[in-house]
Structure 1
Amino acid sequence: MFFSIIIPLYNRPQEINELLYTLTRQTYMQFEVLVIEDGSTLDARQIVESYAGKLDIRYFYKENEGQGFTRNFGFTHARGDYFIVFDSDCLIPKQYLEKVRNYLFEHELDAYGGPDAAHKSFTPVQKAISYAMTSPFTTGGIRGNKEHIGQFHPRSFNMGLSREVWEKTGGFILTRLGEDIEYSIRIHQSGFKIGLIPEAHVYHKRRTSFGQFYKQLHFFGRARINIYKHFPAELKAVHFFPAIFTLGLATVLLMHAIYLPLAYLGDALFSIYFLLIFFHALLQNKSLKVAFLSVIAAFTQLVAYGFGFIQDFFKRVVFK
């Protein structure tokens, strides 16, 4: 099996350098790499070309269109039997492609997704953000877990699809705001088989500060409403949790001004919830600092997603 690895890139030359280095260390080397610069002002041409003797690699520069259409551009130039999409802020374990190849030969998936994890080199903030996005105590628990709710939807930071899927579906029709979930749903509806490959994890850096993380998760909350506008049945009860959390937090703050007994009850419930997150993160990361930061990351994740969800729910669903 020959893989085509598609990596959209926008103003992140250092990230692509780290990602490409991990690809040189793969135990299975039957693959090409396509790096598509999406109208960047800080291009990575020299960095990508420095890997010419180490990888079967090609570099493209195009006008800015967003990550969805940039991946389509990569698909049209790919030579592989199977396409793999990574975000530029990922590090790839050296046995990743070998594990994917072996799994696909055994299970014959038309498309797949894999989970993400925190690398030991990540900063405490990055480890905390990774925890928040994968914890069972936050909405991140449904992303890449073996026990997932409903149909599994691969996410584009770690996603693969066969050439046949690309040719029959035409690729992404959205370029932002939940484009990977929308595409996964259409792949399902086209009759293709999608699955999770639990062993095919990547180390996903995500954001390096809570401010950046807030902006990203606010965008994700809005994206969920965008998916709803295309596929109403895909809006599940779990997707309302961050909005309920955010409204509950606002209610508790209001109760402190008008009815203290109810406010104290709310304080107790939120305290128990965040203590569970703290000790679970401590158990996973063996670090008091990461555990404390994980509470902040979880709070940031839920409030940001909740505000984004509420904003577009009223704007696009209630008031249309």
Structure 2
Amino acid sequence: MGLLSNDERKDCATVSVIIPVYNTENYLEECIGSVVGQDYTNLEIILINDGSTDRSGFICKKWKAIDSRIKYVEKENEGQGIARNLGIRMATGKYLIFVDSDDYIEHNLVSQVYSRITEEKADICVYASCGIGDKGNGGGLEFKLAKGTYVEANRELLGQMIPILCNKMFSVGLLRRTGVSMNNRMCEDLVFNARIYMEAEKICFLDMSLYNYRYLREGNFSTNYGRYYEVEESIQELNELFLREDRFDKYWQQLYEISFNMFKTILFRIRVWKEYDVPPEMKNRYPEFFRSYKRFLSRWFRQYLTMELQEKNFLLVGSYSLRVTVHAMLLNEEYLRSDYASSSIVSLMSNPCYGIEKPTLKGRKSEAGNCGNVSVHARIIADRLDALLESARWKNPYRKRCVEQDIRKHFKFHAVLEEKDYVAVDLLEEIFDLVEIGDGCYITESEFLREAGLKSLEGCVRIPFLSAARRELFRRYVPLFAKKLKQADVRVIVVKNFLCEKHGEYYDRLTEYDSTEYSSGRLYSLEKIRETNRELEWCYGYLLQCLPDAIVVDALEFQELEFTHDAFPFGREPVYYNSGYYQRMAIRINQGIRSILESAWLSELKSNIEVYDRIFLVREDEQEAEKLLDAFLKSRALRKTKFKVLVLSAMTYKNWGQELMQKMPSLAIGENGIGTGGMAEYKQITEENARFLLSLYHMYEFSDRFRLISTREICGSLFQLADTGLLSREEVWEAMLD
């Protein structure tokens, strides 16, 4: 154990290290040893044995006898959250960190983080962690700030928050001041972190991988499948907290990002991640978790977003950045059914090469027609491209597939758009040169193609983006592209992505691209980027002339996120952004879709109000909704009026007409549902649409014709009277129809 340095003696600052221990005998020696061996020695080490039944207690006592800085407590098993709360109460240091007893830390963690947090005079310092499993799992912070700040000044602090405790040093004074504690649910640290973040006066970052996290151990969060349902409860607590404190509307986007990303992580682990030995029974419950998380997000964020798109089919035409954005929007990325990244629209819609075009589906002849007149040059290049596809070394199969689709004109001849609900388009791939093969065939000299090598294209003419010839080609082929989409009657989303003018490692310290910077062999100057973006703006304008009904989204509301992260996996190219941008653009796409759906529903609702005398939206669970509708059928209201009534509910009511005839025979309902008295029609809607209509009900003022039926809502107070016995539910329905 090292001696205190002069500086440490001078300020007498201490750091408390809290280690909850429960049945981790196989890892505990390494964990405690890594803490005891820190090069910053002025530590208080608190070991809390939370009722371990293995040799963990013996190991703790052994270390306590060796090192006087260790405090050891034994208690009955109550869970990690309660053990951490006890550690906070026991801590005497100015700062504290949490270490899980199956993990270990680098020898300089405390000294490096303590130096940073005191230098910044911050309440929290966030540092990087590295996963220890079958493979190394990263290291380094994607979101980080060069200067400390607080949530009110930079909301990305909350939205990009890593919801674990073990990569942060906290001011003990802040914890005591706020009185925040943890419960024993899974993800209890998510709620704890968010609450502390909101109260911190300053949060700083240290981009050093100092904490080693064993994420595949049986019993930890990643593999404790039986407790995954608790995550929803923790996020519910978090949202309710912000709602109570009147902060929800202000921070809803950040809360959505936290909720969505946590749910998506769990779903991904269940469905995809091969490193996790997920039990078959848990895999079989995937649809149950998916529906539950989707309902949760809809319940909390329906005023801003729609979750209906989570089970819609998407097709993508555009850049890799667009692909990342669409993935960031979907809980299950498999709903991105197909994508045509790394291709310009001109290339997609141009003629195929001789020898490259494959037979179309069902054995139909190619639209290329007779190849007998194809030039010798085109045949030679086509043969070279065939060889390229077979022999090139690709970084991954996805890149090869994208290039192959571009060369073989898969979109033009084989894309089945009718099975898709949305087509997302951006134009970033237009910036790359077009290679003219001949006979009306063009391919995109994309990053993916350049990776495979360009020898096959020697002797071919390049058509640069910033040229009159290229604009003319765009004018020629975009109408063909738009026609194909219109014929499929598919909704189009145009995402206006542009080249980034800035790049940086930190979100708050950016540098403009200049002519001395090269990335992947290309030169990007600020002047060239701006000229390219002006031409892209023209291209988007022309595309929207051809697709006037498209949903258009842009980054005007978050321009501070328009930069390339220096650590982007595929290089510092201005066609790439950062995780904050992708998540925010995903939200913008969702908002754009919701706006269209809202307009459609609002229009339909207004039309129905003109047709029906009363429209009732029944908002209850299935059992309660059935009781309410039975009371409606038993009431005499329709016998006394000639009202035309439309009842909307998410409940399945298969025998509505039969029940109506049985309970109201005097209506003499005919084939069209209209009798001598009133008329009652029932329409089942989706749960998502029911919530959507509920939000419309609260957002817009309608006439008395549109009414909410609920025993829980304020607007359903008459039915609350029925529950007290003052009125029967049948009498309440009669009052509603009066």
1:52-91 equivalent positions in 2, closer than 5 A: 52=64, 53-54=66-67, 56-91=69-104
Flag the 1:118–1:112 CA change in 2: closer, same or farther, 3 A: same
Give the whole-Å Cα distance in 2 for the aligned partners of 1:265 and 1:157. 34
Aligned to 2:143: 145
Q: Report 1:1-320 matches (<5 A).
A: 1-52=13-64, 53-54=66-67, 56-118=69-131, 122-124=133-135, 127=136, 130-131=137-138, 145-146=143-144, 149-151=156-158, 153=161, 155-199=164-208, 201-208=210-217, 213=222, 215=224, 218=228, 221-222=231-232, 223-232=234-243, 233=248, 236=253, 237-238=256-257, 239-240=259-260, 266-269=336-339, 275=398
Query: Residues of 1 paired with 2:193 and 2:105: CA distance?
Result: 22
Q: Bigger shift: 175-184 or 74-83?
A: 175-184
Shift of 1:54: 4.2
Flag the 1:105–1:56 CA change in 2: closer, same or farther, 3 A.
Answer: same
Structure 2, unmatched stretches of 5+, are 1-12, 146-154, 269-289, 295-308, 314-333, 343-395, 400-567, 570-686, 692-711, 713-738
Cα distance, 1:270 vs structure 2: 12
Residue-by-residue CA offset, 1:91-115 (whole Å, 9 max, x unaligned): 2111111101211221011123322
Is the 8 Å Cα contact of residues 18 and 47 (structure 2) preserved in structure 1? yes
Contact 1:113 1:153 in 2 (8 A): no
Using a 3 Å threshold, how does the CA distance of structure 1 residues 50 and 191 change in structure 2: closer, same or farther? closer
Taking the aligned partners of 2:94 and 2:221, their CA distance within structure 1 comes to 36
CA gap of 1:194–1:157, structure 2 versus 1, over 3 A, is same
Label 1:107 to 1:39 Cα distance change in 2 as closer, same or farther (>3 A).
Answer: same
Could you tell me whether the CA contact under 8 Å between 1:172 and 1:179 is conserved in 2?
A: no
Cα contact 2:29–2:59 (8 A) shared by 1? yes
Structure with more helix by fraction = 1
Aligned partners of 2:35 and 2:105 also within 8 Å: yes
Relative distance call for 1:60 and 1:27 in structure 2 (3 A) is same
The Cα offsets for residues 126-179 of structure 1, whole Å up to 9 and x where unpaired, read as: x3xx35xx79xxxxxxx7732693436462123322221232122314332433
Conserved 8 A contact 1:45-1:59: no
Rg larger for: 2
Residues 266/20 of structure 1: CA separation in 2 closer, same or farther (3 Å cut): same
Q: Is the 8 A contact 1:115 1:144 kept in 2?
A: no
User: Residue 47 of structure 1 aligns to a residue in which SS?
Assistant: helix
How far apart, CA to CA, are the structure 1 residues paired with 2:169 and 2:48?
A: 17
CA 1:269–1:47 in structure 2 vs 1: closer, same or farther (change >3 Å)?
A: farther
Amino acid at match of 2:235: R
Deviation, structure 1 residue 81:
1.9
CA RMSD of the aligned region, Å? 4.2
| CA deviation after TM superposition for structure 1 residue 228, in Å | 2.0
CA deviations over 1:263-318 (Å, ceiling 9, x no partner): x9844359999958xxxxxx98xxxxxxxxxxxxxxxxxxxxxxxxxxxxx9xxx8
The amino acid of 2:16's aligned partner reads S
How far apart, in 2, do the equivalents of 1:113 and 1:45 lie?
31
Q: Name the counterpart of 1:293.
A: none
Q: CA deviation at 1:200?
A: 5.9
CA distance in 1, matches of 2:18, 2:198: 24
Moved more, 219-228 or 103-112: 219-228
State the AA in 2 paired with 1:17.
E
The 1:205/1:150 distance shift into structure 2, 3 A limit, reads same
In 2: Cα distance, 1:51 partner to 1:59 partner:
9
The one-letter amino acid of 1:65's match is E
CA positional deviation for 1:251: 6.4
Q: CA separation of 1:211/1:190 partners in 2, compared to 1, >3 Å: closer, same or farther? A: closer
Of stretches 160-169 and 25-34 in structure 1, the one that deviates more from structure 2 is 160-169
Alpha-carbon contact 2:18-2:98 (below 8 Å) kept = yes
What letter is aligned with 2:14? Answer: F
Q: Give the deviation of 1:12 after TM superposition.
A: 1.3
- Give the equivalent residue in structure 1 for 2:626: none
Report the Cα offset of residue 71 of structure 1.
1.1
Q: Secondary structure at the match of 1:7?
A: strand
Contact 1:27 1:98 in 2 (8 A): yes
Checking the alignment, whether the CA contact within 8 Å between 2:44 and 2:69 is kept in structure 1 is yes
Judging changes above 3 Å, is the alpha-carbon distance between structure 1 residues 268 and 161 closer, same or farther for their aligned structure 2 residues? Answer: same
Does the CA contact (< 8 Å) of 2:131 and 2:215 recur in 1? no
Taking a change above 3 Å as real, the CA distance of residues 13 and 209 of structure 1, as seen in their structure-2 partners, is closer
Q: Could you tell me whether the CA contact under 8 Å between 1:112 and 1:197 is conserved in 2?
A: yes
For the 8 Å contact 1:115–1:202, the answer to whether it is kept is: yes
AA aligned to 1:203 is N
Gaps of 5+ in 1: 136-142, 253-263, 277-282, 285-313
Contact conserved, 2:127 with 2:205, CA < 8 A, in 1? Answer: yes
Give the Cα separation in 2 of the matches to 1:251 and 1:229. 29
Task: Report if aligned partners of 2:165, 2:193 keep a CA contact under 8 Å in 1.
Answer: no
Specify the code of the residue in structure 1 equivalent to 2:201.
F
The structure-2 alpha-carbon separation of the partners of 1:185 and 1:48, relative to structure 1 and needing over 3 Å to count, comes to same
Looking at structure 1, the residues matched to 310 and 341 of structure 2 have their Cα atoms a distance apart, in angstroms, of: 12
Going from structure 1 to structure 2, the CA distance change for 1:235 and 1:14 (only over 3 Å counts) comes to farther
Judged with a 3 Å threshold, the aligned counterparts in structure 2 of structure 1 residues 144 and 170 are, in CA distance, closer, same or farther, namely farther
SS in 1 for 2:208: coil
Asked if 1 retains the 8 angstrom alpha-carbon contact of 2:182 and 2:189, the reply is no
SS of residue paired to 2:86: helix
The residue that corresponds to 2:697 in the other structure is: none
More contact order relative to length (CA 8 Å, sep ≥ 6): 1
1:68-126 Cα shifts (integer Å, max 9, x gaps): 2211111222222211112223221111111012112210111233221135xx533xx
Paired residue total: 257
Q: Is the 8 A contact 1:172 1:180 kept in 2?
A: no
User: Alignment identity in percent?
Assistant: 21
**TM (normalized to structure 2)?**
0.30
1:49: Cα distance to partner?
2.1
